[in-house]
Chain A
C-alpha cells in the first residue's frame, strides 16, 4: 500500500454554497432559541408532563452518533485493520463535530442557558449528568489529541495508544449517556440495565450511518475516487451494527415483558401507544432496522446510492428510536399507586400528549447543521481526507 496523501477540500463555489445553506439553518436555530428563551418554554410543545422533547431527541441522537462516528478510526488504529486507517482522520473530525452539535442543542434548550458557567463550575458528583459533562469534554480533548498525533509530523507513533484511549473513552461516554435514562428508576420505561449496552449498539449504528453519508457525499461532490469495495465493506459493518441494535432492542423489551410490573409500559410501546407504537414498529424496527439491513446485505450494498439510502434510513429510524425512548417513556403515566387507578386535574394516570413546535424542531435540526458545518470547515482548512480512496490504494480490492 502506497503512502497516503491527505488533502483539504477546495474552498470553491460548492463550499460557499453548502456553508451558506448550513449557516442559514444554524441562524434559524439561533433565532428559534432566542424566541424560546425570551418567551419561555411555553412556545414549545414541552410541558410539565413531557419535560424533555424534540431538542433532547436531537441532542441525544447526535451525542450517541458522535461516539459511533469514531468507529472507523478505532477499527483502523486499535484493531489494526489497514483499509480503515486512511479514514481515521475524517472519523475523528466527524466525532468531534457531532458531539459539539449535540451539546449545543442540549445547552440551548436549558431553561437558563445563560448559566452555562454554573454548569461548568458547580458539580454534584452524584449526578450522572455532571459525570457526562466530564466525559464529553474529555472526549473532545482526547479525539483532538488523536487527530493531532496523526496529522503532526513525527508524532504518528502515538496514534495507536491515543486511539486506544479514545476507544475506551467513547465506550464510557455512551454508557454515561445511556445511564442518564437507566438511572431514572421512577419511570417504567427506563428502569432497565440494558439501556447502557443498547446505547452503545445505537452509537455504533448511527455513527456509522453518519460517517458513510459524509464520506460518500464528500468524495462524490469533490470528484475523488472512492472504491466500491471499501464502501461495501463499511456498509456491511453498518449492517452488523443494525443487527446488534435490533438484538438489544429485543432484549430490552423481552426482559421488560418478563417483569410483570413493566407490562403496562410494554403494552403501551409495543401495542396500543398510538404514535409511539407506530414509530417503534414502523420507524425504528422497519425503516431504521430491517429495511436498511436487507439493503446493505443485498445487491444494494454494492451501489453507493443504495448505501446512502440505507444510511439515511438508519438515521431516521434512530431518531424515531430515541423519540420513543425519550418522549414515549414520559408519555406513559407515572405509577403512583401500583394496582390502583389515579385521576387528578394534573394529568395523573393519563397518557401525556406532546406536539413539538416549529422552534424546537429548528433548534434540533440546527444541531445537525452545526455538526455538518464544522466537519465541512475542518475538511476545508486542514488535510483530513485522503486524495484517493480507490480500492487499490486502500488495499480493499
Chain B
C-alpha cells in the first residue's frame, strides 16, 4: 500500500487550491510572496513534485472555485452569517488582512456531545481504527475540573492556530508553516516526520500517521510517516464556508463555536471577544492563540 501523499499533492497545495488555482487561472497575483505556502520556502512543491496530475487537477479545481465565488457571493455571505468575514475570492492570494480565529463558549458545549469531533473526522477523513494510542486525533473533547469547587466544564480542543506557533519555530524543514491569514498547516511534501513539532506543541494538537492510509479526501491529503493537525478546514474557509465542526455545532448542537476574522472589529467573533471575558489556553506561554475560549 503506497501512501497517498505522492499521488494526492501536498496539504498546502490542496489546502490552498483556492489560492494556487486562482492564480493559475488568470489574475497572476503575487501568490508566492503572500501565501503561507510560498513563505514556507520553495512553495508547496505541487508543481515540482507531481507536476502534471496536480496541475491539471488544480485547473479543474480552479474552475470550480471561481464558479463558486462568482456565481454565489450571496451563499458565501450567508454561510458565514451576518457580521462575519467574507470568503477570500479564489483569485486572491492569502492575505494577512484577515486572521481567522474561533471562539468557543464552553457553557454551550454539552458534556456528552462529540458532534464536532465526528464532523471533523468525516470531513477530513481521519477515523478511529481501534488503536487509540496511535490514531490521529485532530480534535478531541476535554473535561476540565476545578480542583476546589469540583466545577466541570467540557470543551473541544484542537490546534489553536497560534500566532507564535512553536511547531513552526522548531520544524527543521519549514514544513510546518503559518499562512498569512493565521492558519497553521503542515506541507505534506516537505514534512520528514521528525515529530519535533509534536514535542513542541503545548496542546497535543498534532498527530503522527502511524499506519498506511486508504480512502483519503482529495482536499485533505494525509500520508503515513508525516504529521498533521486541524487545518481549520482551510479548504472550506477558502471557499467561504465554515469549518465543519463549527457548522455542525451551530446546526445541530449547542452552537458553542463562533468562527470569523479576528482582525475585523465588526465581525461577530471580535464583537464577542470585546464583550465577554475570554481565555487563552496556557496564556502564560504567550503564543497568542487563534482559538479562544469563554466560560471555562
Residue of A nearest to B204 (CB): A334
Inter-chain contact total with CB atoms closer than 8 Å = 176
Any A CB within 8 A of the CB of B171: yes
A340 adjacent to chain B (CB < 8 Å): yes
Task: Write out, one digit per residue, whether chain A residues 168-181 have a CB within 8 A of any chain B CB (1) or not (0).
Answer: 00000000000010
A187 to chain B, nearest CB (A): 7
Bound-state Cα–Cα, A124 to B173, Å:
5
Establish whether residues B209 and A115, one from each chain, have CB atoms under 8 Å apart when the complex forms: no
Q: Is B296 in the interface zone, CB < 8 Å from A?
A: yes
Q: Do A112 and B41 contact each other (CB < 8 Å), given the known contacts A42-B211, A51-B208?
A: no
List of A residues within 8 angstroms of B59 by Cβ:
none
- State in angstroms the CA–CA spacing of A187 and B204 once bound together: 11
B56 at the interface (CB under 8 A from A): no
Query: Which of B134, B137, B204, B211 counts the most chain A CB atoms within 10 A?
Result: B204
What's the Cα separation between A340 and B200 when bound, in Å? 22
> Does residue A31 face the partner (Cβ distance < 8 Å to B)?
no
**Min distance, Cβ B205 to any Cβ of chain A, angstroms:** 10
CB-contact partner of B170 in A110, A116, A128, under 8 A:
A128
- The residues of B that contact A118 with a CB separation of less than 8 Å are 173, 189-190, 192
Q: Given A119-B172, A133-B172, A343-B142, do A41 and B208 touch, yes or no (CB 8 Å)? A: yes
- CB-CB under 8 A for A111 and B137, given A41-B210, A42-B211: no
- Which residue of the partner chain B has the closest CB to A261? B284
Do B203 and A341 touch (CB < 8 A)?
no
- Chain A residues with CB under 8 Å of B173's CB are 118-119, 122-124, 130
Main secondary structure of the interface of A (DSSP, over half): loop
- Whether B159 sits at the interface, judged by CB under 8 Å, is no
B104 within 8 A of A: no
The A-contacting residues of B in range 181-209, CB under 8 angstroms, are 189-196, 198-204, 206-209
Contact partner, B172, options A47, A130, A334, Cβ 8 Å: A130
Question: Which of A52, A116, A342, A348 is close to B195, meaning CB atoms less than 8 Å apart?
Answer: A52
**Contact assessment for B144 and A110 in the assembled complex, using a CB-CB cutoff below 8 Å:** no
Q: How far apart are the CA atoms of A113 and B194 in the complex, in Å?
A: 9
Q: With A128-B170, A187-B199 as given contacts, are A346 and B192 in contact (CB-CB < 8 Å)?
A: no
Indicate whether A259 reaches chain B with its CB closer than 8 angstroms.
Answer: no
Is the beta-carbon distance between A112 and B192 smaller than 8 angstroms? yes
- Interface residue? A91 (CB, 8 A): no
Asked whether, in the complex, the Cβ of A48 is within 8 Å of the Cβ of B171, the reply is no
Q: Which residues of B contact A343 (CB under 8 A)?
A: 142-143, 145
Alpha-carbon separation in the docked complex, A185 to B165 (Å): 12
Question: Contacts A127-B196, A345-B141: A336 and B281 contacting too (C-beta < 8 A)?
Answer: yes
CB-defined contacts of A183 to chain B, threshold 8 Å: 169-170, 200
Residue of A nearest to B188 (CB): A112
Does A185 contact B166, Cβ atoms closer than 8 Å?
A: yes
Q: Which residues of A contact B103 (CB under 8 A)?
A: none
Mark the stretch among B61-69, B79-87, B220-228, B240-248 that contacts chain A: B220-228
- Contact residues, A282-324 vs B (CB, 8 A): none
Q: Are A122's CB and B131's CB within 8 A? A: no
Chain A residues, Cβ within 8 Å of B41: 122-124
Quick check: is A339 within 8 A (CB to CB) of the other chain?
yes
* Distance of B110 from chain A, by nearest CB (Å): 15
Flag A242-285 by CB within 8 Å of B: 1 or 0 each. Answer: 00000000000000000000000000000000000000000000
Residues of A in contact with B (beta carbons under 8 Å apart): 37, 39-42, 46-49, 51-52, 110-113, 115-116, 118-119, 122-124, 126-130, 133, 180, 183-187, 330, 334-348
Besides the contacts A48-B206, A48-B207, A347-B133, what 10 more A-B pairs have beta carbons closer than 8 Å? A110-B225, A111-B226, A111-B227, A129-B170, A183-B200, A186-B202, A338-B282, A338-B284, A342-B143, A344-B157
